[in-house]
Structure 1
Amino acid sequence: MRVTLALPRELGQSEVSRWRALQEADAAFDNPFLSPEFTLTVGELRDDVRVAVLYDGSDIVGFFPFERHPMGIGKPVAAGLTDAQGLVHVKDYEIDPRRLIKGCGLSVYEFDHLVSGQPLLGAHHERHASPIIDLRDGWERYTESLLRNSGKTYKSTLAKSRKLQREAGAMRHDYATTDLAPLRTLLGWKTDQYRRTGRTDRFAHKWIVELVERLLATQTESFAGVLDMIYVDEKPVAGHFGLRTRTTLAGWFPAYDTQFAKYSPGLIHHLAMAERAAESGIEIIDMGRGQKEYKDKLKNGDFEVAEGRVARIGAAAGVHWVMRVPVRKTRATVMANPLLLRTADRALKTYGRLRTVLQG
């Protein structure tokens, strides 16, 4: 195996086409975060993005997109934002992970959403469920599974949808729009949510706003930004921005107007979105790793992603271990314990409320 490094913009059309062909040849890579378009777009906005092109002789056998940080620390492209990470490569091709990161000039590669079946995956890495809405058997079969497993939630959501329309007006669903105005409304809701819940506001970073806008403008058969909103009496109520391949929609940024909170607009919207997605050919909605009540209510399956690192022996890897691994293990302990998780969530929301008051 031979490794060459390139900036995303240096990849030729033949290389991008090969990347896309490898991705579409294996269902394990059917996620838009692994698509060449995602890395190319992030690479337009960040100068730390690289792509390792893997060769066997003269044949390209894989692509490994990553960010290169100081001390030879490697991270996934748009680290902290993506719900699917890893290489796209020829199926069953043997790749030595440490030889790969050496060829990339890295001491460590860390990840938190590594997709299954990766050569980077080791037995010691932590596995996590990534809830999905599986639509491969069609919309009707999915709703039948909801009635069996979350019947109370499904029926109450439909009832709240009817009540919302009785009390506020007729509902309209705008699926896969490319209009910037509703996107900016959605991002405003998301910023409010981050602040309200004590989280860091991702959209305080201009490059992330620009990234989302550029991805919305990217519309091809194999990759696109997908924005959809529901309106009541022509007022925006709830929406979502995500990315899709031909058959997988990756959940990314859902949000709603809190003045409609009593109607559960997020659940109303997700059901409407799933139905329209199924009609458009989407087979999987990947809601992403993380324990959220709405995911538990809507899912009918799970994928698996892994968290951990691949490291070469050296001082940089040792420093990275001291700085990152204990923190990651502590976080994993909190996430795995419902009591600790609820306590941490309440603390963050209290902090969010105080921060809002002080900033106001």
Structure 2
Amino acid sequence: MKINVIRPGELGAGERARWRELQKADASLDNPFLSVEFAVAMDRLRDYVRVAVIEDGNRIVGFLPYERHSFGIGKPLGGFLTTCHGLIAVPDLKIDARALLRACKLTVFDFDHLVAGQPTFAPFESDVRPAPVMDFTLGFDTWLEQVKTNSPKNLKTVRYKERKLGREHGELRFEWSSPDPGVLRTLLNWKSDQYQRTGRVDRFAQPWIVELIDLMHAERSPDFSGVLTMLYSGDVPVAGHFGLSTATTLVGWFPAYDTEFAKYSPGIVHHMQMAEAAAASGLLMVDMGKGGKEYKDWLKSGVLYVAEGRVSRPSPAAAVHWMGRTPFNKARTIVMDRPSLYRAADRVLKGFGRVRRSMQQDTDAVAKDPTGAG
């Protein structure tokens, strides 16, 4: 086999077509984060993006998109932004993972959302996790029956809040795949507020991430699209989501809502309506991503599996990386495994967010009136 490393933007039309062909041939690869369009967009914005093109004879048998950071540290494409990564390859392709790293000039490759069971990386998987999905293969009504079975009480409560929101603030209207950049900005502002309110890092404070989302929002093709949805009560937007889709799968990415309507649980109301719209548009699945939120357990009607793990070649850089990452990974796994710990950690972060916001407001007030005279 021959492995050539280039930037995704350097892929020719034939290579991009082969990428799409390989992706469509394997159901486990039906995820927009594995699409060539996402790799090319990332390459436009980040200098460290690469793709290994794997050939057997004169035939391309696989692609591995990745990030190459200082000291040969390899990370999945999109890193913390994405919920799926791996080899886009012919089924059952197995190559020497360390030889692949050597060709990519990597000392280590750390993964946490890899398509589980890929033969090249399976020996290096340390943990495999379920990622809940809404499966519409048998139709929306069948999915809804599963949701009712999962938790009839939750479904009843959400439907009650949905009707109450419509009565008190105006008839509900759901918009699927909005092209309006103003609607996207409304959603991103809500999400930034959520990050700050809950003590998380505001991803949209990094301009390149906002630019990436703008690029993805502009994508419109049968194989890959950015999908912006918004729920309105009357003429007022109350909850939305931006995600990416292939021809058959929508992946959850950035959901958010207006906190003024929090008592109506607008996020869950939106998800229910998004599921119906996704099924009506011909999609077969909404991938909600692994871990974190309890609502996923009762909205799911199936699961996919993603793996955590690490491949390395002997080197001082790999050893230092292992010492720095292993305690964090273990702690995260312990927290994600125990709902009570996850809720406690969430409360701590929200408390930190409130303190940080209060301090920022005090700082802003002093900046506006340094004398304190009002």
Q: Taking structure 1 as the reference length, what is the TM-score of the superposition?
A: 0.98
**2:83 partner SS:** coil
**1:329 partner SS:** helix
**Any conservation in 1 of the 2:49–2:67 contact (CA below 8 Å)?**
yes
Q: How far apart in 2 are the matches of 1:290 and 1:205?
A: 25
Q: How far apart in 2 are the matches of 1:327 and 1:221?
A: 40
In the TM superposition, 1:260-271 aligns within 5 A as 260-271=261-272
Counterpart position of 2:247? 246
Q: How far apart in 2 are the matches of 1:331 and 1:278?
A: 34
* C-alpha displacement of 1:193: 0.5
Q: How far apart in 2 are the matches of 1:321 and 1:116?
A: 21
* C-alpha displacement of 1:338: 2.7
Counterpart position of 2:2? 2
Q: How far apart in 1 are the matches of 2:239 and 2:357?
A: 22
Q: Deviations over 1:292-312 (max 9, x none)?
A: 022122112211111121111
Counterpart position of 2:76? 76
Q: How far apart in 1 are the matches of 2:248 and 2:64?
A: 22
In the TM superposition, 1:153-192 aligns within 5 A as 153-192=154-193
**1:14 partner SS:** helix
In the TM superposition, 1:1-360 aligns within 5 A as 1-118=1-118, 119-122=120-123, 124-360=125-361
Counterpart position of 2:370? none
* C-alpha displacement of 1:340: 2.3
Structure 1 residue identity aligned to 2:278? A
Once the two structures are overlaid, the 10-residue window that deviates more, 308-317 or 14-23, is 308-317
Q: How far apart in 1 are the matches of 2:334 and 2:263?
A: 33
Using the aligned pairs only, state the percent identity: 53
* C-alpha displacement of 1:337: 2.3
**1:177 partner SS:** coil
**Any conservation in 1 of the 2:146–2:301 contact (CA below 8 Å)?**
yes
**1:288 partner SS:** coil
Change (3 A) 1:214 1:297: same
**Any conservation in 1 of the 2:125–2:310 contact (CA below 8 Å)?**
no
* C-alpha displacement of 1:121: 2.4
Change (3 A) 1:71 1:123: closer
Runs of 4+, deviation exceeding 4 Å: none
Structure 2 residue identity aligned to 1:151? P
Q: How far apart in 2 are the matches of 1:2 and 1:60?
A: 9
Q: Deviations over 1:243-301 (max 9, x none)?
A: 00010100000000011111110111001001010011111100011220221221122
**2:81 partner SS:** coil
* C-alpha displacement of 1:78: 1.3
* C-alpha displacement of 1:58: 1.0
Q: How far apart in 1 are the matches of 2:360 and 2:238?
A: 26
* C-alpha displacement of 1:124: 4.7
Q: How far apart in 2 are the matches of 1:69 and 1:269?
A: 38
**Any conservation in 1 of the 2:226–2:242 contact (CA below 8 Å)?**
yes
Larger radius of gyration: 2
**Any conservation in 2 of the 1:171–1:233 contact (CA below 8 Å)?**
yes
* C-alpha displacement of 1:123: 5.8
Counterpart position of 2:367? none
Q: How far apart in 1 are the matches of 2:355 and 2:300?
A: 34
- Indicate the RMSD between aligned Cα atoms, in angstroms: 1.0
**Any conservation in 1 of the 2:31–2:249 contact (CA below 8 Å)?**
yes
Change (3 A) 1:123 1:66: closer
* C-alpha displacement of 1:339: 2.9
**Any conservation in 2 of the 1:28–1:117 contact (CA below 8 Å)?**
no
Q: Deviations over 1:214-257 (max 9, x none)?
A: 10001000000000101111110000000000101000000000
- Structure 1, gaps ≥5 residues long: none
Q: How far apart in 1 are the matches of 2:227 and 2:178?
A: 7
**2:278 partner SS:** helix
Counterpart position of 2:368? none
Structure 1 residue identity aligned to 2:152? G
